[in-house]
Amino acid sequence: MARGHDAVRRLAWQSKPSTPLCRSCISALQSRLASTAASPVETAPIEPSPSGKAPPPLTASESHSIRYILKASVILSRPPVLTRTLTPFEKAFFLYQRRLNERLALPFTRYFYYQRGTAGDIEWKRKIRERKTPARDIGVYAAYGKQGWNDELLVGDRIHEPEEQIERLLEDAEVESKEGDKDDVVERPMPRITEADKTGDLRSLNRSLERTVYLVVKTPKGWGFPAAVLERRESLHTAAERVIVQTGGVNMNTWVVGNTPIGHHVLNYVRARKDSGAELRGEKIFFMKARIMAGQANLEGNKLGVEDFHWLSKEEVQKTFDPQHWNAVKKILPER
C-alpha cells in the first residue's frame, strides 16, 4: 500500500508539482495503477460436447445466466483380497531361493532346533528319509549331498506350483495326525476361483478376488457409477456418503476416502436447456473415492432410480460403460 501511495505522489509531482491533488484524483490514480499491474486471468476452455462441437464462448452479458449442474459420483471399490498369481519365472525363482537358503544359511545340526528323542526330532528324521530334506514344501532335495549345487528347478517338475506345494503340505499334516493319534480333520484351503467366478455372478463381492472391483449401477440413462446432484450447501464428502446410502442402502460398511475428488468430468449438452431463467450448459461431475469393508448393496427402496448393480473389474467396466464415460474415469482406476 505504501508503494502505491509513493507512485501516486510521484506521478502527481511530475505532472503538476505546484498544484495539489484531491482525494478523488488520488483514488483514481491508485485504481489505474492496480489495474495495469494485475495479470490477466486465464479462463479454462469449455470441454467439447458429446456431438464433438464445442459450445460458443460466453460473453459478459451471458455469463450471469449460464450455469452447470454439480454432481457427486462415488467410485466405491473393494480392494484385492488375494495376492496376484505368480508368473512361471517367479515361481521357479522363489523355489530356487528356498533351496539356496537351505543349503547355505541353515548348516546347523538338527539338535540345534530339536531336543533328541522329541516329537520334533522324530518328524525331522522322517522327512530326511522320505525326501532328503527337513523342509516341508520343496520336494526331494539333498542340500548337503554331492548334488547340493543342483538346486534349480528341473524341466517338467511341478514342485514350484502352489497347488503341488499345497498337496505336499496336506500329506505332511495327515501323516503327523496319524502318527500322533489325533482325530483332527485336516482342512483344505479355500480355492482361488470361487463359485461366483464359476457361475458368473456379477452381483457377488466374492468374485475376482485378485482384482479391485467397483460398484456400477444401471439407471434409465445407462450404466455408470452412483451419482447425484449436490444439494444446497452440501460438501462433496457429505454428498458421497448420501449417494452411497441412497443407492445401496444402509447395510454396507463404507468409508469415503478424503474430502477432495480424485477426478472430474465436464459433460456439455448438445443443446443448452432453460431452468428458472438460467441456461444449463451441462454437468460437472466430481468423482469421490470410497471403500467397502463389509455388507452388500440392496436396491430395495433406493432413491436414485437404480435398476441393477454389478461389481466389476477395470476391464469389465470398460466393456460396460459408453466410450465418453470410460474416457473420463480410465486414468483414475488402478490397473489391479
Q: Is 318 among the domain residues?
A: yes
What are the tens digits of pLDDT across the range 312-330? 999 999 999 999 899 999 9
Least Cα distance to 209 among 313, 293, 289 occurs for 313
Between vectors from CA 287 to CA 257 and to CA 278, what angle results, nearest 5°?
135
Q: Is 139 among the domain residues?
A: yes
**Domain co-membership, 307 together with 167:** no
Q: What is the mean pLDDT of residues 142-157?
A: 78
Beta bridge partners of 309: 217
Element (DSSP H or E) covering residue 148: none
- Cβ-proximal residues to 293 (8 Å cutoff; 6+ apart), any chain: 253, 254, 255
Say how many domains are in the chain. 3
What are the tens digits of pLDDT across the range 197-253? 999 999 999 999 999 999 999 999 899 999 999 998 899 999 999 999 999 999 999
Residue range(s) defining the domain that contains residue 29? 2-37
Place of cell 475376482: 208
**C-alpha distances out from residue 128 to 109, 122, 133, 153, Å:** 13, 10, 5, 20
Task: Report pLDDT for 40.
Answer: 43
**Domain co-membership, 125 together with 265:** no
Provide the 3-class DSSP secondary structure of residue 197. Answer: helix
**Domain co-membership, 175 together with 257:** no
Return the amino acid letter for 239. A
Least Cα distance to 212 among 97, 132, 315, 96 occurs for 315
Least Cα distance to 311 among 72, 78, 73, 82 occurs for 78
Q: Is 305 among the domain residues?
A: yes
**Domain co-membership, 173 together with 253:** no
